[in-house]
Structure 1
Amino acid sequence: MNFSHIIKTVSSQTFNNKGQLMHLCNVFLRRTRRGTRAGKSVQRAIPVITSKINHYDSQNIICHKQHGANIANLAKIPLLKTNSLISDEINTNNNIVISVLNCRSVKNKALSISDYVVSNKLDMFAITETWLGSSIDESVKQELVPTGYDFLQLNREHRRGGGIALMFKKGMNIEYLPNNDICIDQFEHMDFSFCHAKTCVKFCVIYRPPPSKSNDLRTSLFFDQWNSYLDRIVTFPHEFIITGDFNFHVDDKNDSNAMKFLQTLEDHNLTQHISTATHIRGHTLDLFITRSESNLLRTKASVHEPNLFDARGNPFCDHHAIQAVLAGAKPKKISKTFTFRKWKTVDQVELSKDIVLDIPDTNPSVDELANQYDSELRDVVEKHAPLVTKSVLLRPNTQWYSDELRESKRNRRRAERKWRETGLEIHRQIFKERCSNTGKLLHQTKQDFFSKKIEDCSGDHKQLFKLSNSLMGKQHDIVLPTSTSNTELSNKFAHFFINKVTTIRNVLSQQHSFNRELSLAEDTPFNGEPLP
């Protein structure tokens, strides 16, 4: 709009005062283009012309012009997920969740792996390259296996490294299936079975070490044993899952060995479900295999970063984890039943008043007195401290969790949900940073908690040894011999010690008796040289 046009417009108007004239000039002089500085409180709509339609009559003469959108020309566009690379979150509260990961030694990752299992609510966790088999295994497993889980392992023999294991909830009722009738030395494997949706499922964990001069493994021998192994597996009448680290780049179409491996799966009517990289270098090494017509999986198996961090917040896992959800109900939660008496609440004065034994005037036998004492004292105990039975669900031990750690874990979950919602790289970086902070805090919190407990036990050696045994994995439940009643169990203990004393006496009686007439030898004088 030029200045002459403004003068022409203003001159054609009639104004009552000077204010109206100044207002009209400001309207014409104000810039209305996009990007005008108008302050945060001013919002201007940017006009958008969607169409310019001319309407004609029967003689092709323009009747009028319509500016705007023609609703009849608009097409409905279906809404899509903003980020298709991130899979939908699945409700894992009611389904069996399985995860597979190459840990490359669990000894330096035990606490992080335990937190990973608990945070993801895993029912089964298959591990390859455990590197177990040394004298510190018990202490590692004490920190590795959460409360309510069992652990089965197969260590590599005669060489360091390797090894596979399975961690699972106790309610899964998993059974180990040894294969002693076949000889396989080109790859490590463990076979299990568990009941799922009223059917038996075989679960196989595989680790194939890469061939080298030091291990004398050959790819040709692997394929011979692998085909024999698959011939046995496919004869299983029910569903089965084969998973683990095979060390084949199945994503590389030019890798002849990888293509040959995939051909063996196709020949046995099997399907490999992993199509993305499972290693930080971009190759697909870890696989998840089922029958081609299997309906075992609820959704497609996914790959994600396990986000395992050390005490300094540095990531230390070069493989990604595979996670799959089975279409079926989770196992029932395991509970443990305790029976106890509340002795601390007993009134000592009232208890002493009630302990009054009425001994009869007659001369009772020892058995009669013992029965009387037992009956009357049992009634008094039941009156003041009755037996209480309590059932507790087995949950992971989190007594050393601090409020700061719980808040850090909540922030980590919020960051993960935000990243899954948007799929943006910036939100992924924020999530990784939260994982690193939580990893550092996880190690520091547990160290501070047990350091404080050890300081508190400094004057009590019994509690100190008890705490050290629990940390080193040397604490076991006391298992009593089987018996039908407490009386029978007491008699077993009595007979055991009576027989032991009798045996010692018989051994001593068979030895030569001490001759009291023999005198002790006299002391001989010292004839050596004194020390300087």
Structure 2
Amino acid sequence: MMLANSLQYSTIPCRKHLVSVIALIALVLITVCSTQLICIDYQHPNSTMCYSRDELLQMRSEVTMKLPTNLWQYITSLGIRSEPIIRRGRRGGKRHPRVPPVVDTDADQYSPIPTIIGNRPKPNELQTPRYATCTNLRQLPHYGTMDSKLNVCLWNAQSLGNKTVLLVDYMLEHDIDIMILTETWLRDDDRVIIGESTPPGYSFLNISRPNNARGGGIAIIFKTPLNLSLRKSQCVTKYFESACITDNANRLNLVAIYRPPPSPENRFRHSDFIAEFDNFVDDISILPGKMLLVGDFNVHWDRPDKSDVIQFSNIITSANLMQHVDRPTHTYGHILDHVFTVSDDNLVLNCTVDESFIADRVKVKHHCVHFNVNLEKPLPERVTQVLRNYKDINDSDFENSLSQHFNDIPLFENPGDIFDWYNQVVRATLDELAPATTRSRSIRCRMPWYNNSVHQSRQERRRKERKWRKSRSENDRLEFTEANKNVKTNITIAKKDYFGTKLHNASTKEVFQVMNQLLNNQGDLFHLTMILLISAISLLISL
């Protein structure tokens, strides 16, 4: 039995699921017809499709079937196809009703691709646009990184005289803002060692032992923009050395201490140190600003059961101070170098111990203690440069522009005016063809004798250091030590070549300037010595 024109556009209901519609039609056909084959015409000469009774029974809601492509296209053209619900990508808030699509009646009726005109509203029509203004922006709190805080290092040098080259290289490589040295063994007249230990852009404060006695000594090497100065203390100590450093704003009181261990030579007793240190802590606690107490106390903090450590820790606890070093700072596994701050100040952010500083010929027993102070780093010195892109200048345009100016040369009575006019013409031509641009850059603190050989040796040392830190083997440590010695050798050779060339090509006045730089002479105390030295050099050259 054939059903011709049994399905009309007006009689087909718009249901949510197409399968339910087909199942309903199948039940009606089963009850009315007893035939085994049903044919449906979709008003197209080539679109007649036949279904059996069993096939219609399978088109129930509980059975999922994939309809033919031409049937899906026809159902879509009628506008009764159910779209899947997609939750992804929708914004929260009020739901706006969606306008149903409209079938384009002007399109070809038998076109295989139906045309549907959608009425989906644009996002701008649903809500008013929002723009980023100062009224609707919420300012987030700023958390400074460790790179923006003061980088401070504490180290017991045990004689600075033979470690100046490696010390300067270490400070520049790690960008140390404040270097605190104990047991420098320096005197007030050691100008050469002080000059060699001061990198470009840094200042040196030397606090030697009273009466220039041998041994001991404290030194502070800091970046010049910090503008640190030595605070005069009324507390005179006998059993330990101290130095109090502060800035102009009195924000920080950096107190460095070196306590020599008791020995038969100095006849120092631990009880005398405890009594004197207790009074010293009371005096520095009343100073304005935050307190940072560092140094080599020669107290084994890792042995809390010892009597001297118990007495020392009682003073620290009563002053509400906190210890930040928790790793051994000595090669024998003891914590001798300490960093103390007031518990409520939150002054020290992190504290680490670095074992990579290895000097040749002399075994370094103390490790470097690194920590960040919760104060902003000094801004690097910047220089402004004027640049021109000379590569964009066309030679013919440049010649034509200059020839036009030179065709009408004014008459000048003074020869200097001619040079001024010429400079103005050339500058105006360059501004026209290659405009000047300004660029600001920061000045890097680097030694003037830094060359490619030093750069490559430092790269090799860093590679050996990473390998040793990863493996911790004795062979890798020896390779790192040799790489460190190679860096010092290359720096020494580069430094000799630099000053040798500079003295060879210098005039008499420049020779004095170079000698002042080598001897770290900033006054007129050594003029006679330099004159004698220059005379001796001139005599040797003449011979």
Q: Once the 2 structures are TM-superposed, how far is the Cα of residue 222 of structure 1 from its aligned partner?
A: 1.6
Give yes or no for contact 2:341–2:348 (8 Å, CA) kept in 1: no
Distance 1:286 1:426 in 2: 28
CA distance in 2, matches of 1:380, 1:93: 51
Structure 2 match to 1:513 = none
- Deviation larger for 448-457 or 102-111: 448-457
**Could you tell me which residue of structure 2 aligns to residue 273 of structure 1?**
324
Number of the residue aligned with 2:515: 468
Amino acid at match of 1:125: M
Aligned-partner Cα distance in 2 for 1:163–1:380:
62
1:101 corresponds in structure 2 to 155
Q: Is the 8 A contact 1:195 1:201 kept in 2?
A: no
Pick one of 426, 441, 459 that aligns with 1:410: 459
Say yes or no: does 1:331 pair with 2:378. Answer: yes
Superposition pairs of residues 45-60 of structure 1, within 5 angstroms:
none
Structure 2 counterpart of 1:126, from 180, 190, 195: 180
Q: Which runs of 5+ in 2 are unaligned?
A: 1-143, 386-405, 428-437, 525-543
Note the aligned Cα RMSD (angstroms): 3.7
Relative to structure 1, the CA distance from residue 462 to residue 238 in structure 2 (aligned partners, 3 Å threshold; closer, same or farther) is closer
- The aligned amino acid for 1:153 is N
Shift of 1:294: 3.4
How does the TM-score come out when normalised to structure 1?
0.57
> Is 1:140 equivalent to 2:189 in the alignment?
no
Amino acid at match of 1:239: K
**Corresponding residue for residue 495 of structure 1:** none
Question: Among 449, 453, 466, which residue is 1:400 paired with?
Answer: 449
The residue aligned with 1:112 is 166
Aligned to 2:245: 192
3-state SS in 2 of match to 1:101: strand
SS in 1 for 2:148: coil
Bigger radius of gyration, 1 or 2?
2
1:230 counterpart residue number? 281
Q: For the structure 1 residues 380 and 293, does the alpha-carbon distance in structure 2 shift closer, same or farther, using more than 3 Å as the test?
A: same
Q: Secondary structure at 1:298's aligned position in 2?
A: strand
Question: May I ask how many residue pairs the two structures share in their alignment?
Answer: 349
CA contact (8 A) 1:116 1:306 kept: no
Aligned to 1:157: 210
Residue type at the aligned position of 1:138: R
- 1:394 offset after TM fit, Å? 5.1
Q: Distance in 2 between matches of 1:354 and 1:140?
A: 61
Against the structure 1 CA distance between its residues 420 and 96, is the aligned structure 2 distance closer, same or farther, given a 3 Å change threshold?
farther
Q: Using a 3 Å threshold, how does the CA distance of structure 1 residues 379 and 245 change in structure 2: closer, same or farther?
A: same
Pairwise CA distance, 1:97: 0.6
Cα separation, partners in 2 of 1:398 and 1:138, compared to 1, 3 Å: same
Q: Do structure 1's residue 451 and structure 2's residue 500 form an aligned pair?
A: yes
Normalized against structure 2, the TM-score is what?
0.56
Ranges in structure 1 where 5+ consecutive residues have no aligned partner: 1-89, 339-349, 359-372, 478-532
Asked if the contact 1:412/1:438 (under 8 Å) is kept, the reply is: yes
Q: Is 1:321 matched up with 2:359?
A: no
Structure 2 CA distance for aligned equivalents of residues 452 and 378 of structure 1: 36
Percent of aligned pairs with the same amino acid: 30
What do the CA deviations read for 1:425-452 (whole angstroms, capped 9, x no partner)?
Answer: 6655543442232223222322233234
Q: Quick one: which of 344, 349, 367 aligns to 1:298?
A: 349
SS in 2 for 1:259: helix
Partner of residue 209, structure 1: 260
Supply the distance in 1 between the matched residues of 2:332 and 2:452 (Cα, whole angstroms): 37
**Secondary structure in 1 aligned to 2:488?**
helix
Match of 2:339 in 1: 288
Which residue of 2 is the match for residue 42 of structure 1?
A: none
Kindly provide the CA deviation profile for residues 150-209 of structure 1, in whole angstroms up to 9, marking residues without a partner as x.
Answer: 111211123211111111111223232111x3222221111122389xx81211100111
Question: Which residue identity is paired with 1:401?
Answer: Y
Residues 454-495 of structure 1, C-alpha deviation per residue, up to 9 Å, x if partnerless?
Answer: 3445xx444333322221112579xxxxxxxxxxxxxxxxxx
1:409 is matched by which residue type in structure 2?
Answer: R
Higher relative contact order (CA 8 A, sep 6+): 1
